[in-house]
Amino acid sequence: MFYVQRDATGQLLRVEAASYEGFSEILPADNAEIQEWFGDDEVENSLKQLKQSDLDMIRVLEDLIDVLTAKGVFSITDLPAGAQAKLLNRSKARKALGSLNNLIDEEEQGGLI
């Protein structure tokens, strides 16, 4: 059972598993409106997971390109100019952040004022 509150037009405004002040009715878990309410959450969560997965894969591809170039299998110049620029910009940004991480580590260890 879910405790719900509706807006003036009858649309679900809030759905909770426990009762709360201001709920206006109780609906069973198999109610179509409840299923739709939580279905939207599932879609949103799936999109968040895909976005995070995309970010993780970008890092994997960057690392793969680094390994291939280090082994001489691949050259950055094999890529189109736009791709080269993006990779170089990301590399510079990552190095800059790496320097900041070193400062933070030193600060935590008492190495900085």
Contact between 33 and 13 under an 8 Å Cβ cutoff? The reply is: no
- Residues 6 or more apart from 19 whose CB is under 8 A from it? 3
Over 60: is that where the pLDDT of 111 sits?
Answer: no
**E strands, the chain, where?**
2-6, 12-16, 25-27
What's the domain range around 32? Answer: 1-53
Instruction: Provide the residue type at 42 as one letter.
Output: E
27 falls within a domain: yes
40 falls within a domain: yes
pLDDT in tens, 93-106: 888 887 666 555 55
Candidates 38, 1, 40, 30; CA nearest to 18 is: 1
pLDDT in tens, 54-92: 888 988 999 999 999 999 999 999 999 999 999 999 889
Give CA–CA dist 91/66, Å, rounded.
Answer: 10
pLDDT in tens, 21-43: 989 999 998 898 988 888 767 76
93 falls within a domain: no
pLDDT for 97: 83
34 falls within a domain: yes
Residues in the chain: 113
What does residue 47 show for φ and ψ, rounded to 5 degrees? -65, -40
Candidates 6, 12, 16; CA nearest to 36 is: 12
15 falls within a domain: yes
1 falls within a domain: yes
4 falls within a domain: yes
Longest dimension (CA), the chain: 68
